[in-house]
Amino acid sequence: MSKTTSTTSSLSFAHVPHPSPVSAEKRAELLKNPGFGRVFSDHMVTIRYHETKGWYDAKVEPRAPIPMDPAAAVLHYAQEIFEGLKAYRTADGGATLFRPLENARRFQQSAERLAMPILPENVFLEAVDQLVKIDRAWIPEGDGSLYIRPFMFANEIFLGVKPSSDYLFIVIASSVGAYFKTDAPAVSVWVSQDYTRAAPGGTGAAKCGGNYASSLQAQAEATRHGCDQVVFLDAVEQRWIEELGGMNIFFVFDDGSMITPPLGGTILPGITRNSLLTLAKDKGIKVSEERYSIDQWRKDAASGRLREAFACGTAAVVTPIGTVRSNDGEFRIGNGGSGAKTEELKAALVGIQRGRTADPHGWIHRVY
């Protein structure tokens, strides 16, 4: 096994290439229909942290199980954060990332909230670049992409409740197609009235595993009601729409205007959400960050004032919402399929992400 080293500002990455990577034939087979989050590339990046040493021991190495002590703090107190971003194959055979600096920054904000060490932006970006470069063959052709999952967890062997002294930062990559399995033109959502996702002062704005753990019962309820995703209402009044289990949400009205729930610490500040706000403004669409209640949503869908609604996120891209269900019954949005504004904004976003259109905001990061 050959071992080389590359350096980023203060940190050197040791390279340990996989001794027996997946064969090209097997990989081609896996990439035909990867689904979401089940097909993984050959390598991973690992970086360790200890409060006395700082960040150390950066490696690009074969993807493998990680040995863990059963008393590792993350297994007990869930001190863990993660990110999600995609690498795209370019027409000239290169690879790009969409706004990775925003993921690096959000990772820092999540770390801050969870009392974890701050990984320098350049180290986050270098770790992602290194993995995309070594596993470039895992970026699917066509509509697929390589979903990059950086994450960090508390690794101190200690059962006392306090911020860990030890952490492991890892980046893995998964070849993906569409997030939703459905062939329907739009997804259905279940409005959770029994569970909330995040309360003021909580961790709603952080991308931490705990937020997803506490969403699972509501997501299971959505599935039981035949819905693809759960929609959460605010924890205080149980009235204002916040976001979906793993996506932000936009509403489109009959006058062409759009709204999305405001960031206030209880929802994830989505990078897709932020990009769509910018793209909508570029197009002269009147768009605002405004509270919108579940009652108003129902009324506006019935009157026809609300024409479209869509979910957005790295995994979901832009996904139209056609049906809304809750304990109070069901309503349809528009014709139950996608709408013109949803498609227009999706095309604008995907065009930039895939390098098919100009990138006026400098969002594309070339890996090689």
Single out the segment in contact with ligand PLP by CB under 6 A; choices: 2-10, 18-26, 270-278, 283-291.
Answer: 270-278
Q: Which amino acid is at 187?
A: V
Binding partner of 130, given ligand PLP, ligand COI, none, CB within 5-8 angstroms per partner class:
none
DSSP 356: S
Closest distance to ligand COI from the beta carbon of 148 (Å) = 9
Q: Judged by CB, which is closer to ligand COI: 231, or 315? A: 315
CA–CA separation, 65 and 88 (whole Å): 26
Q: Judged by CB, which is closer to ligand COI: 11, or 87? A: 87
Interaction of residue 34 with ligand PLP, rule CB under 6 A: no
Q: Judged by CB, which is closer to ligand COI: 84, or 140? A: 84
Q: What is the DSSP string of 224-266?
A: HTT-SEEEEEPTTTS-BEEEESS-EEEEEETTS-EEEPPPSSS
Interaction of residue 268 with ligand PLP, rule CB under 6 A: yes
Closest distance to ligand COI from the beta carbon of 52 (Å) = 32
Binding partner of 248, given ligand COI, ligand PLP, none, CB within 5-8 angstroms per partner class:
ligand PLP
Closest distance to ligand COI from the beta carbon of 277 (Å) = 17
Torsion over CA: 207, 208, 214, 219 (sign): positive
Binding partner of 175, given ligand PLP, ligand COI, none, CB within 5-8 angstroms per partner class:
none
Closest distance to ligand COI from the beta carbon of 274 (Å) = 13
Binding partner of 243, given ligand PLP, ligand COI, none, CB within 5-8 angstroms per partner class:
ligand PLP
Using DSSP bridges, classify how beta strands 4-8 and 11-15 pair: parallel, antiparallel or unpaired: antiparallel
CA–CA separation, 227 and 182 (whole Å): 11
Q: Are 131 and 171 in contact (CB under 8 A)?
A: yes
Interaction of residue 271 with ligand PLP, rule CB under 6 A: yes
Please, what is the angle between helix 271-282 and helix 340-353, to 10°?
A: 110
Alpha helices, DSSP H, located in 6-89: 24-32, 74-77
Interaction of residue 261 with ligand PLP, rule CB under 6 A: no
User: Could you say which of 59, 207, 341, 346 is catalytic?
Assistant: 207
CB neighbour burial string for 279-299, b if at least 16 within 10 angstroms, e if fewer: bbeeeebebeeeebebebbbe
Residue 207 annotated as catalytic: yes
Closest distance to ligand PLP from the beta carbon of 318 (Å) = 10
Closest distance to ligand PLP from the beta carbon of 266 (Å) = 11
- What is the number of other CB atoms lying within 10 angstroms of the CB of residue 30? 16
Q: Judged by CB, which is closer to ligand PLP: 21, or 84? A: 84
Q: Judged by CB, which is closer to ligand PLP: 63, or 106? A: 106
Interaction of residue 313 with ligand PLP, rule CB under 6 A: yes
Closest distance to ligand COI from the beta carbon of 197 (Å) = 13
For 297, the enclosing helix (H) or strand (E) is: helix 294-303
CA–CA separation, 156 and 163 (whole Å): 9
Q: Judged by CB, which is closer to ligand COI: 149, or 332? A: 149
The residue among 222, 282, 288, 283 whose CA lies nearest residue 250 is 288
- Considering only residues 225 through 254, tell me which ones interact with ligand PLP, judged by CB under 6 A: 243, 246-248
Interaction of residue 272 with ligand PLP, rule CB under 6 A: yes
Q: Judged by CB, which is closer to ligand COI: 135, or 156? A: 135
For 344, the enclosing helix (H) or strand (E) is: helix 340-353
Interaction of residue 150 with ligand PLP, rule CB under 6 A: no
Burial of 206 per CB tally in 10 Å (0-12, 13-18, 19+) = buried
Summarize as ranges the residues that interact with ligand COI (CB under 6 A).
84, 246, 313-315
Torsion of CA 16, 11, 122, 273, to 10 degrees: 50
CA–CA separation, 14 and 56 (whole Å): 11
By CB under 6 A, name the one of 21, 34, 84, 150 that touches ligand PLP.
84
> Using CB under 6 A as the criterion, which residues of the chain lie in contact with ligand PLP when the complex forms?
84, 243, 246-248, 268, 270-273, 313-314
* Active-site annotation, residues: 207
